[in-house]
Structure 1
Amino acid sequence: MDVAVIGGSVAGLQAALTLGRARRQVVVFDDGRARNRAASHVHNFLGAEQPAPDELLAVGRRQLATYDVAVRDGRVDDVEVVDDGFVAGGEHVRAVVLATGLRDELPDVPGVADRWGQSVVACPHCHGWEVRDQPLVQLGMRGAPERSVARAVLLSRWSDDVTLCTDGDELTAAQRDQLDRAGVAVRTERVEEVRAGSVALTGADLPARRVFVVVRQHQQSDLAERLGCQVTDGAVVTDEGGRTTMPGIYAVGTTASPALLAIGAAGHASTAAVAVHADLLELDLSSRR
């Protein structure tokens, strides 16, 4: 077996597709915990007409059936480094692609987790168009007012009716000026609950067609660190070809670049897969000398 891809969401499946088309033997391990699985639709993905996340991944799996790619359900928590490669999920492989992705830490506000992926979302580029020109609330993450302000300013491009709820955080004069220039209203009261169609503040109820939240992102798996890969600011460090600091180990999608949209994660994975194939080809040819 040539390559083990650990993680079977958009980035992992795209890496496997590119490698399969390069006539590589690939095994994909997927634990079914795609980061966007709570969302009703995948938006802003060229060629895909707003499928549900599981529908998009099902199409991807069907595409892989043409090639020498096996998809196995299950989580891989350990990879053994051996003399001539790696052992992952019981398979001996020459290279490992980490596509384990991220998990989102949501604001600790009642109603947020229950509505996550539906009326509570994070990314305006993914979900803003569908609620353009409607009342929107940007809910900040307590203790991170600079990020909350930046996201509210970004959201103001989709609607003239945006309110930033800081959930108790106070803002500087410069931050308030920035929000005022963007036309964003500010409420600093504590948020009691996110409800269907509104946000309950202390002593007030704020209409909201959609609530956008600031999240903290964490790697879903510590596998990269345990393999000795460098991880900085929550991202696995790679070069432009997805190569980590450990030979034979690659990282793709949001595992390496947390800010990527779904389509960007796929593109990143495809580029890295090309590098994986090139590196394996070089090894193949050097062994024939």
Structure 2
Amino acid sequence: MKTYDVAVIGGSVAGLQAALTLGRARRRVLLFDDGDPRNRTADHVHNYLGAENPSPTDLLATGHHQLEQYDVEVRDTRVDEVAVDGDGFAVGSDRVRAVVLATGLRDELPDVPGVAKSWGRLVVACPHCHGWEVRDQPLVQLGMRGLPDRSVARALLLSRWSSDVILCTDGDELTDEQLTKLGKAGVQVRTERVEAVHPGDDQVRVLLTTGEALLPRALFVVVRQHQQSDLAERLGCEIVDGAVSVDGGGRTTVPGVYAVGTTAVPALFAIGAAGHASTTAVALHADLLEQEL
């Protein structure tokens, strides 16, 4: 059994940044990366200072390259079990003093045929991540049935990128107050059910049950988010509203277990996930040092 200071579980932006910061602190790190990041279907990562719209693959490859000079060992595998082992943890046949959960989230898309087909390209969720590229063009915000408040909030947000925004509620009826706000923002509302979505090369065909088709440049959708792994739950970490509870240093309610990025803060962009991971890694290094002294 080999012994490491830290096991980082998850090799997307947050996991790589945690491993990088810990490696630079001269910690012996074991990084597990199953090669299946949440944003794998996206063409580009936007709104990331210092990286001009790289593909997710290119951004993560750069991160792996940066790790090569440090004491970071990368395992290309998924971790499904972490066991408490004395004052540390066992991950497979290896023993670690602390665990960083960077397993992230998975997105539940609206139950409309065709949405998943172009997810990450012409069908996206976040205006801050993808709105600039389609600014001042016709856009449709597709709500998720049963979540009208979130659908309205997203359409209002999207109206800052284009004056031609249509909110499709997919059957949900809206209140007079919501309709008034949308009207002030210049957002049109269609409450018919959406029959299907047909992505093309440079636009999306949104087919309503009435037979009418909307042709936006891009389709923004409301999503539900879920933890991609149940490791935190099985370790006994507190989970609130789908997020692993952490303090300002990324410490979970289980001593020695930390959570970074969207695992702990679901609303983070990629660059925010990296920042959160770096801050947590600094706190973890200090905690280990305190134990050593």
Shorter-chain-normalised TM-score: which range? over 0.9
Number of residue pairs the alignment of both structures matches: 285
User: Is 1:27 paired with 2:30?
Assistant: yes
Question: Which secondary structure state, in structure 1, belongs to the residue aligned with residue 160 of structure 2?
Answer: coil
Please tell me the root mean square deviation across aligned C-alpha atoms, in Å: 0.6
CA deviation vs aligned residue, 1:187-231 (integer Å, no higher than 9, x gap): 000101112322111221111100000000000001101000000
> Of the candidates 61, 64, 68, which is equivalent to residue 64 of structure 2?
61
Residue type of the alignment partner of 2:239: V
Residue type of the alignment partner of 1:45: Y
Residue type of the alignment partner of 1:208: P
Distance 1:195 1:178 in 2: 29
Distance 1:274 1:73 in 2: 25
Distance 1:115 1:169 in 2: 24
Q: How does 1:183-198 map to 2 (within 5 A)?
A: 183-196=186-199, 197=203, 198=205
Q: Which residue in 1 is equivalent to 2:217?
A: 209
CA deviation vs aligned residue, 1:120-157 (integer Å, no higher than 9, x gap): 00000000000000000000000100000000000000
Question: Which secondary structure state, in structure 2, belongs to the residue aligned with residue 94 of structure 1?
Answer: strand
Distance 2:34 2:106 in 1: 14
Distance 2:75 2:93 in 1: 11
Question: Which secondary structure state, in structure 2, belongs to the residue aligned with residue 224 of structure 1?
Answer: helix
Q: Which residue in 1 is equivalent to 2:167?
A: 164
Question: Which secondary structure state, in structure 1, belongs to the residue aligned with residue 40 of structure 2?
Answer: coil
TM-score, structure 2 as length reference: 0.96
User: Is 1:223 paired with 2:231?
Assistant: yes
- Please state how far the C-alpha of 1:84 moved relative to its aligned partner: 2.4
Q: Which residue in 1 is equivalent to 2:81?
A: 78
Distance 2:158 2:141 in 1: 8
TM-score, structure 1 as length reference: 0.98
> Of the candidates 256, 268, 274, which is equivalent to residue 264 of structure 2?
256
- Please state how far the C-alpha of 1:178 moved relative to its aligned partner: 1.1
Distance 1:81 1:98 in 2: 15
Q: Which residue in 1 is equivalent to 2:278?
A: 270
Residue type of the alignment partner of 1:201: L
CA deviation vs aligned residue, 1:49-108 (integer Å, no higher than 9, x gap): 111001100000000001000111111011010112001132100000000000000001
Q: Which moved more, 1:76-85 or 1:250-259?
A: 76-85
List structure 1 segments (4+ residues) > 3 angstroms apart after TM superposition.
Answer: none
Residue type of the alignment partner of 2:84: V
Distance 2:131 2:212 in 1: 25
Distance 1:91 1:238 in 2: 25
Q: Which residue in 2 is equivalent to 1:233?
A: 241
Identity %: 75
Question: Which secondary structure state, in structure 2, belongs to the residue aligned with residue 244 of structure 1?
Answer: coil
Q: Which residue in 2 is equivalent to 1:244?
A: 252
Distance 2:80 2:15 in 1: 16
Q: Which residue in 2 is equivalent to 1:110?
A: 113
